[in-house]
Structure 1
Amino acid sequence: MDSHADKLSGAVQELENPDRIRQLETQVFQLQQAVTSHAVIDQAIGVIVAVGRMTPDEAWDALRETSMCTNIKLRHVAELVITWGQGGRDLAADVRCELSRRVKRQALQ
C-alpha cells in the first residue's frame, strides 16, 4: 500500500509534467466557459419564463428548439434574448419568429 508521502510525491511529479499542466489548464478553461454559458442560458430561460408565462422546462425547450431551427448556437440565442429582455435591440427576425411560435404553442397547450 502506498504511503501518504508516496502519493504526495506522485502528485507533485504529475503536476510538474508540462503536458499534464497544459491538459489541466485546458480543462479549467473549458469548465470556466461552461459555467459562463450555463449562466447565460439560465438568464435567458428566466426572460422567457417571465415573458411567455411558461415553466422553466418549457422555456428551455423553446430556447433549444429556436437554436436548432435557426442554426444559431444556443449560447448566442440566449445572449440575444437577454439583450432583448433588458430593453436592448430587437431580436433578429428569424430568432423572434421561431421563439414567438414556440412561446405561443406552449401558451396554448
Structure 2
Amino acid sequence: MVNDTTCRGYEAAEDQAGRVRALQDENAQLQRAVASHAVVDQAIGVVIAVGRLTPEQAWDVLRNVSQHTNIKLRRVAELLLELARTGQLPTNIRAELKRRLDHPPPPQG
C-alpha cells in the first residue's frame, strides 16, 4: 500500500529529476554559447588582420556583413574562418565584406 510519505518521496524524486534535466539543458546551452563566442572572436581576428582595423571596427564590420547578407552572425564568422583556411568565401559575403572594408566604421574613442 502506498502512503503519504511514499507519495511525497516520489514527488520529491520527480522534482529532482526535473531540476537535473533543466540544469543539463542549461549546461548544453552554455557550451554552445561558448563555442559560438570563440568562432566569432576568431572571425573578428581575421577581419582585424585583413582590414587593419581595431577590434571594435572589426566587430562592426562582421555585424554589418551579417545584417546586409541576411546570414546569421555565427555562420558569417564560420565562413570567414574558412576564408582564412582555404581562401574561399561565398560571393555575396565576399562582396559585402569588401564593401565594408573599403569604407570601415570610424574608430571609437
TM-score w.r.t. length of structure 1:
0.80
Structure 1 alignment gaps of length 5 or more: 1-12
Letter in 2 for 1:26: D
Query: Is 1:68 aligned to 2:67, yes or no?
Result: yes
Cα separation, 1, equivalents of 2:45 and 2:87: 18
Letter in 1 for 2:97: L
Cα separation, 2, equivalents of 1:108 and 1:17: 53
Percent of aligned pairs with the same amino acid: 48
Question: Residue deviations 1:7-39, cap 9 Å, x none?
Answer: xxxxxx79x711111110111001000000000
Letter in 1 for 2:46: V
How well do the aligned residues superpose, as a CA RMSD in angstroms?
Answer: 2.2
Cα separation, 1, equivalents of 2:105 and 2:16: 56
Task: Give the C-alpha shift of residue 78 in structure 1.
Answer: 0.3
Cα separation, 1, equivalents of 2:92 and 2:17: 46
Partner of 1:83: 82
Partner of 1:43: 42
Contact 1:53–1:107 (CA under 8 A) maintained in structure 2: no
Cα separation, 1, equivalents of 2:26 and 2:104: 38
Cα separation, 2, equivalents of 1:108 and 1:101: 15
Q: 1:89 to 1:50 in 2, by over 3 A?
A: closer
3-state SS of 2:71 partner: coil
Contact 2:36–2:74 (CA under 8 A) maintained in structure 1: yes
Alignment of 1:1-109 (within 5 A): 17-86=16-85, 88-106=86-104
Cα separation, 2, equivalents of 1:32 and 1:108: 34
Runs (4+) off by over 2 Å: none
Letter in 2 for 1:48: V
The count of corresponding residues between Structure 1 and Structure 2 is 96
